Amino acid sequence: MKTLVLDAFSGISGDMFLGAMFDLGLSQSEFEEQLNKLKVPGYQIVVERTARSSITGTDFDVVLDGNLPKDQGFDEHQHHHHHGRNFMMIKQLILQSNLKTAVKEKAVKMFEQIALAEAKVHGKKLEDVHFHEVGALDSIVDIVGAAIAFDMLQLDKLVVNNLSDGVGTIKIAHGIVPVPVPAVMEMQLNTAIPIQKRFDVHTELITPTGMAIIKCMGNEFNTSVTNGVLERTGYGFGKRETGSLNALRASLYNSKLSQQQIDETNDRVLLMETNLDDATGQQLSITIKNALELGAKDAWAEPIIMKKGRPAYKLCLLTAAEQQETFVKFLFSDTPAIGLRLKSMHREIMERRIEQVQTSYGKFGIKRLSYCGLNKFSVEYDDIEKCSQKTGKSFEEIKLAVLQEIENKGV
């Protein structure tokens, strides 16, 4: 399971979220390839590594054709040149695109939340509201882009900590309004989303787009413990001058051990076993998947014959010793098991590093494996499968070609 943790100590906007995603390693070329499926012209994106307050991060910007990039005083609410689309038009635009279904659903959901909030604030029906905010081209890029980034990074969960907004008032397209702006307050209604005030900042920190991202994709708030290994951190910078670091920090955690780096050649593990004669193969496949995502080192099932000649499965998990309580509860809740066998074991393992390698077939994840001078590598099967589906070539053909290319390059 991949968990994204956002530290929103300086609020969140669409630009900040996408800047943070690119700082985590999101591929700009692949992102633009997906974004182009909307078939909406009139813009280009700018992704720039820079530093603020001695911290290096990424600044994301949408440059509209014929206009200069949004400057430090940019206000998401001020869209005077691209206000020809309302919610229903944007929804149709997204649904008719070639984007993935999951991306379409997330993007439409975020637009709908903003549209409903604006309709409520202005006392109009959804279809009667003219949206400067959701109709602007840069907001379309931000919101659809956020859904694309979530999919590209294969995120399973979003945790938001320290969500903060400023105080005072701000001038928007509709006049002077209090902070948080009315649309953000409306989206907070009947939710468990906590917003803390920063009395040292006299401007807006949470934009409607940022609030829509949190409301539609956030799963937990103010959580101090995250399962998995911290793989990467990144910073996405905001446009406003707040008197302090205006950035969104993103941290990517991975609880799936097969995708983590290992720098040791031996360890101690706990083997958990249970015999199940009342669970189907389909149920166990889900349990094995869930166990691996929870952080088990390995999981499998073996066919056995139990008393009275009944066919059954022996479900086995390998976990770290300190995970005993977590996985005992997991097995009792996720399976029909009423008893478990536990055994401490020693393992010899290869050191492992995960890398991304560019080939003529695209980018592939590879595992670098080593043990006492012995070295080898393997290619991620999920990447081979995706390439096979995309190109129409067989799995084996892609696998052999990529292996040969990597070996020839000496990568």
Residue 303, pLDDT score: 95
CA distance 37 to 96: 10
* pLDDT confidence of residue 257: 57
- Stretch 84-103: mean pLDDT: 88
Which band of pLDDT confidence, cut at 50, 70 and 90, is reported for residue 336? very high
Give the model confidence (pLDDT) of 190-223 as tens digits: 999 999 999 999 999 999 999 999 999 999 999 8
Phi, psi of 353 (to 5 degrees): -130, 140
* pLDDT above 70: residue 71: no
> Which residues touch 210 (CB under 8 Å, ≥6 apart)?
11, 12, 13, 14, 16, 17
pLDDT of residue 72: 36
pTM: 0.68
- Indicate the DSSP class of residue 36: G
Q: pLDDT band at 259, cuts 50/70/90?
A: low
Structure-token pair, residue 192: 């468990």
The two structure tokens encoding residue 205: 């920190």
Residues in the chain: 411
pLDDT of residue 223: 85
Q: How confident is the model at residue 70 (pLDDT cuts 50, 70, 90)?
A: very low
How far is CA 104 from each of CA 34, 65, 96, rounded to the nearest angstrom?
Answer: 12, 25, 9
Are the C-beta atoms of 319 and 268 separated by less than 8 Å?
no
What per-residue confidence (pLDDT) applies to 36?
A: 94
pLDDT in tens, 115-139: 999 888 888 777 766 655 445 788 8
pLDDT > 60? residue 260: no
| pLDDT for residue 265 | 63
More confident call, 67 vs 408: 408
Nearest to 102 by CA among 151, 32, 159: 151
- The answer to which of 23-37, 72-86, 169-183, 285-299 has the lowest mean pLDDT is 72-86
Q: Which residues make Cβ contacts (< 8 Å) with residue 276, sequence separation at least 6?
A: 284, 312, 313, 314, 315, 335, 336, 337
Average confidence (pLDDT) over 348-360: 84
**pLDDT score for 74:** 37
Banded model confidence at residue 27, pLDDT cuts 50, 70, 90: very high
Task: Name the token pair of 325.
Answer: 């309580």
C-beta of residue 145 within 8 angstroms of C-beta of residue 34:
no
266-316 pLDDT per residue, tens:
678 999 999 999 999 999 999 999 998 888 889 999 999 998 888 999 999
Instruction: Give bridge partners of residue 378 from the DSSP assignment.
Output: 367
Cβ atoms of 14 and 142 within 8 Å: the answer is: yes
Residue 228 has pLDDT above 80, yes or no: no
Mean pLDDT of the chain: 87
Q: Please check the confidence at residue 81 and state whether its pLDDT lies above 70.
A: no
**Tokens 């009947």 identify what position?**
190
State the pLDDT at residue 277. 92
The alpha carbon of residue 317 and the mean position of all alpha carbons in its chain are separated, in whole angstroms, by 27
Return the residue matching tokens 């995502």: 293
